[in-house]
Amino acid sequence: MADILIKNARIITCKSNGPKMGAEMQDLGVIENGFVAVDNGIITDVGYGEGEEFKVRHTEIIDAEGRLVMPGLVDPHTHLVHYGSRENELELKLKGASYIDILKSGGGILSTVSATRAASFEKLTDKVVSSLDLMLQWGTTTVEAKSGYGLNFVDEVKSLEVLKNVKHPIDIVKTYMGAHAVPTEYKSDKEGYINLMIDRIIPYIAENQLAEFIDCFCEEGVFSVSESESILLKGKEFGLKIKLHADEIEPMGGAQLAGRLSAVSAEHLVAASDEGIEEMKNAGVIPVLLPGTSFYLRLGRYARARKMIEAGMPVALATDYNPGTCPTESLQSIMVFASMGMGMTPQEVISAMTINSAHAINRGNIVGSIEKGKKADIIIMDAPNENYIVYHFGINHVATVIKDGKIVIKDKERQ
């Protein structure tokens, strides 16, 4: 018995026992002319043939001939909960202002903080829902989301409560990121802000299970390596898992810190040193690369994905969706930058946005591949093969989205 049977499909399973390491990322575990059976929200079988042994109980049989069936995309790094937008910075940026210059003059993150603090719970929720709707339409079925635009007790808790209470098919993994910037009221007392996080906010968030991860913006002019370390260690003491914005713009030693703390993942890594990459590898830290941000910051350089893959590391990719440095919800857009900017093959890109990104948020045993026993989070792309998705860029290839075994986006052409 099955609720849904997908047949005649080219199935990109992304099957793997753990994250796909280095060269393994090229192997997507493709099943030509296969079927997927779904029952009660779970994948119950995957194989060759039409799955004729499955009688379909409730919903329907999907004939996916000529299409690509893949795991729902997993976005392991977003700043989903924020209010307002920052298109005003576009012109400043084009005139040559750097990201950190804009932040130091009270713009950037801090302008989003003002808008987020002023927004009601309902308004913030509406904005989150409209972004989640877009993500789902573009094929994302699980997303990591950070706080970090409240920067005080009330508004950080508000942001995480919005994520906890929002009703949406997409699964959200929550991260506390109070260490995103120093709020204006603590401008000349950074230590005071760090103490507020350490003494009050982190314990409250952990005890009330408002987040699973803690993250910190370790960057020149934001939080130093030693400040980041004390904040992250406090989170760890309270049971939060560690992520880290490391070496995004300046080579700070963030990658080494991620290795030393055995972080689950370290993100950005554009300026990460050879030693940093080596220490991450030895500690099993997953590199989460954000090439849309390199592009949008006009950095003129990208993280060294090829070096990391050749070193045998399990590279993951994310949008970094945020209102300043990467205002897009679309992982399909990021595919192009990963491929053209960093030289990743379409196969590596898909591994990095499914099984590896699932592991980067501690969901590798539940989502990220089409395998028996996993959640039935499946997308059907109107594309003949995986190369085509990267090749025909800038458009949405998603035809159908199945989330938790329910068809939430229905193929318009074939209804």
User: Which residues contribute to the site for ligand IZC (CB under 6 A)?
Assistant: 79, 108-109, 112, 217, 245, 322-325
User: Which partner, Zn ion, ligand IZC, none, binds residue 325 by CB below 5 to 8 Å per kind?
Assistant: ligand IZC
d(CA 315, CA 291): 12
Bridge partners of residue 63, in order along the sequence: 7
User: Which partner, ligand IZC, Zn ion, none, binds residue 235 by CB below 5 to 8 Å per kind?
Assistant: none
3-state helix, strand, coil in the chain (%, to 5): 35, 25, 40
The verdict on 155 binding Zn ion (CB under 5 A) reads: no
Q: Return the amino acid letter for 281.
A: K
- Find the shortest distance in angstroms from Cβ 111 to ligand IZC: 9
User: Which partner, ligand IZC, Zn ion, none, binds residue 109 by CB below 5 to 8 Å per kind?
Assistant: ligand IZC
Q: Are strands 316-317 and 378-381 parallel, antiparallel or unpaired?
A: unpaired
Q: In terms of CB distance, is 6 or 145 closer to Zn ion?
A: 145
Q: How far is CA 83 from the centre of its chain?
A: 19
Choose one: 35-43, 189-197, 270-278, 314-322; the region binding Zn ion (CB under 5 A).
314-322
User: Which partner, ligand IZC, Zn ion, none, binds residue 112 by CB below 5 to 8 Å per kind?
Assistant: ligand IZC
Angle between the N-to-C axes of helices 109-118 and 153-165, in degrees from 0 to 180, rounded to the nearest 10: 70
User: Which partner, Zn ion, ligand IZC, none, binds residue 323 by CB below 5 to 8 Å per kind?
Assistant: ligand IZC
- Find the shortest distance in angstroms from Cβ 250 to ligand IZC: 13
User: Which partner, ligand IZC, Zn ion, none, binds residue 108 by CB below 5 to 8 Å per kind?
Assistant: ligand IZC
How many C-beta atoms surround the C-beta of residue 81 within 10 A? Answer: 28
- Find the shortest distance in angstroms from Cβ 80 to ligand IZC: 11
d(CA 285, CA 291): 18
How many C-beta atoms surround the C-beta of residue 27 within 10 A? Answer: 14
Q: How far is CA 409 from the centre of its chain?
A: 21
User: Which partner, ligand IZC, Zn ion, none, binds residue 400 by CB below 5 to 8 Å per kind?
Assistant: none
- Find the shortest distance in angstroms from Cβ 109 to ligand IZC: 4
d(CA 113, CA 204): 21
Choose one: 3-11, 236-244, 319-327, 407-415; the region binding Zn ion (CB under 5 A).
319-327
The three-class DSSP label of residue 401 is strand
Q: Binding Zn ion by CB under 5 A: which of 75, 227, 320, 348?
A: 320
d(CA 78, CA 326): 9
Residue with the shortest CB distance to ligand IZC: 324
d(CA 385, CA 330): 19
Q: In terms of CB distance, is 28 or 231 closer to Zn ion?
A: 231
Q: In terms of CB distance, is 46 or 246 closer to ligand IZC?
A: 246
**Per-residue interface string for the shown chain with Zn ion, residues 268-307, x marking contact by CB under 5 A:** ----------------------------------------
Choose one: 179-187, 196-204, 312-320, 333-341; the region binding Zn ion (CB under 5 A).
312-320
- Smallest CA-to-CA distance from 247 within 213, 214, 264, 222 is with 222
d(CA 352, CA 287): 10
Task: Give the interface with Zn ion as residue ranges (CB under 5 A).
Answer: 320
